[in-house]
Amino acid sequence: MPLINLPLSREGKFSSMDDMKAAASPIPILILGTGGITKKVYFPLLIRWENIKICGVFSKTQQHAKDACERWQLPFWTTNIADLLELKAKAAFVLSNKESHFQLIKTLLENGLDVYVEKPLAQTSQQAYELAELAWKKQRILMVGYNRRYALLYRQARDIMKEKTIQLIVIQKHRTKSAYTSLNENYLEDSIHQIDLMRFFCGDVEPLQTHYQMKDGKLQSAISTVTLPGGGLGTILTSHTAGIWQESAALHGENRSVHVNAFRDLWVRYEDHEELFGTDRAGKWVPDLKERGFIPAIEHFFHCIQTREEPESNGLEAAKTQQLMERLVSGI
């Protein structure tokens, strides 16, 4: 599907005194989805977040919604999206399975809510572009939670290389076992973070080729290559037979090398010296959900709600990442 032309930002101005008062009031939000990522990340953070109020929880499974409200002492749960909309919230966190994303997000945007959604935005790039266009038409914030973009060391790595032309980049993500029965499933559910990081560091890249290996119906490993805007090469690697969980990014260009060992340390190597940075260096302690980018991502979303600025990982950016993912899988 061709890229749509959306402006990069909106005016961040208040049009009335009512708008200014609303900006100072707690933001009423909805939580859609009560699975693992919600329990591990979003409920613990949002329940204590200043100036927001969780006014309702949605799940397709009644017991899951009820249990979440009891666990976190929340006032309302439902399995009916229409009931949820009656709460008149301002924003929603869509944390349900990817199969439900398109219709839920479409309904929320059409009813005037700003939306934060866990990756991927939708099941296909065509659906993702449709949601991005709808968000713009409705003047709603649509942000996809690609938390690696907001992780401290990945952002520092990009800053260090921003004046340089990257000639080689290698992004890796390895696991000890596989739960994926196809390359498409793995790339859409898991490796899409690394595909998005490639665009985060390098901009719009062009796919070259992808090779992968299956065994007993499960993906074992995959490697994808791309060409970079400056003429260099990029590689995305994943293994599901690794000894331990590993994730890293290495960037090289103009006599400078940057290596991120996610999410703990960052090495910068020059011709005559090297530097080490890291969140676990002596005297520098950072909460795990901050160094992994979750807290900065949520902060960014609420900032965009207040200012009406476009999120860095908005719907259009997410659609471009998903389109690249599909091209890598299909070999186009």
Instruction: Give the integer Cα–Cα distance in Å for 291 and 29.
Output: 24
Q: pTM for this one?
A: 0.90
The class of domain 17-146+295-314 in CATH terms is alpha beta
Res 280: pLDDT: 61
Tally Cβ neighbours within 10 Å of residue 61: 11
Give mean pLDDT in consecutive 10-residue pieces for the chain, a chain of 332 residues: 42 42 78 96 96 97 96 96 96 97 99 98 98 98 98 96 97 94 96 98 97 97 97 98 96 98 93 85 67 96 97 98 98 74
pLDDT at 24: 63
Q: What is the CATH number of domain 152-292?
A: 3.30.360.10
What residue spans in the chain does CATH classification 3.30.360.10 cover?
Answer: 152-292
Rounded distance between C-alpha atoms, residue 210 and residue 175, angstroms: 19
Strands (E), 187-323: 206-215, 218-227, 233-239, 246-253, 256-261, 265-269, 274-278
Q: Where in the chain is the domain with CATH 3.40.50.720?
A: 17-146+295-314
CB 173 within 8 A of CB 126: no
The whole-angstrom separation of Cα 313 and Cα 142 is 9
Q: Give 285's contacts (C-beta < 8 A, 6+ positions apart).
A: 279
- If phi over 0 gives left and psi between -120 and 50 gives alpha, with beta otherwise, what is residue 73? left
**Is-contact 109 132, C-beta < 8 A?**
no
User: Which residue, among 63, 58, 258, has the nearest Cα to 155 in the 3D structure?
Assistant: 258
Rounded Cα distance between 194 and 187, Å, is: 9
The CA distance from 140 to 108, in Å, is 10
Residue 274: exposed, middle, or buried by beta-carbon count in 10 A (0-12, 13-18, 19+)? exposed
For tokens 């990029």, the residue is 234
Q: Could you give the CA distance from residue 71 to residue 69 in angstroms, rounded to a whole number?
A: 6
Question: Could you give the CA distance from residue 328 to residue 237 in angstroms, rounded to a whole number?
Answer: 12
